[in-house]
Amino acid sequence: MINLKRSKKPPLIPMSSMSDIGFLLLIFIMLISLINQRHEVKIDYSEAKVLERTQEPENLEIWVERNGRISVDGKVVALDDLEQLIAGTLAYQPSARVHVIADRNTPYRHVNAIVGILQTLQHRVVSFVVREEL
């Protein structure tokens, strides 16, 4: 017959390792939130009556401000360097969709210059981002 005795002491839970785990989780969450940060430029969106929503996880967003300044990932890019940037991105991610996000008051020539670069690269998966008309 086996004699089992119950211990009268409560079980010990090491709390120092719990704080280590909590700290590591906090660092992990902070790093993940920085990775998924989207760079936006404050613009006045154009409006459209008919919309098509895209579900691609990775998009190349080209922001065009009213004055013609072009930004990609929060960095200002010269029009001459944009072709090389787009070509490099598409070589790395061939399925990437290019989103052109322009201010509603941007002169057409600035948007047309970007479309001309996309035509030169023969890239046909392009979206013009607008705000839904209410």
Domain extents for the chain?
A: 47-132
CA atoms of 117 and 74, how far apart (whole Å): 20
Each residue's pLDDT tens digit, 23-43: 889 888 887 776 656 666 666
Query: pTM, whole model, 2 decimals?
Result: 0.59
Does the domain made of 47-132 have the CATH classification 3.30.420.270?
yes
Q: CB-based contacts of 115: which residues, under 8 Å, 6+ apart? A: 100, 126
Percent of the chain with pLDDT over 90: 4
Q: What is the rounded average pLDDT for all residues in the chain?
A: 78
Determine contact, residues 97/36, Cβ cutoff 8 Å.
no
Tell whether the model's pLDDT for residue 51 goes beyond 60: no
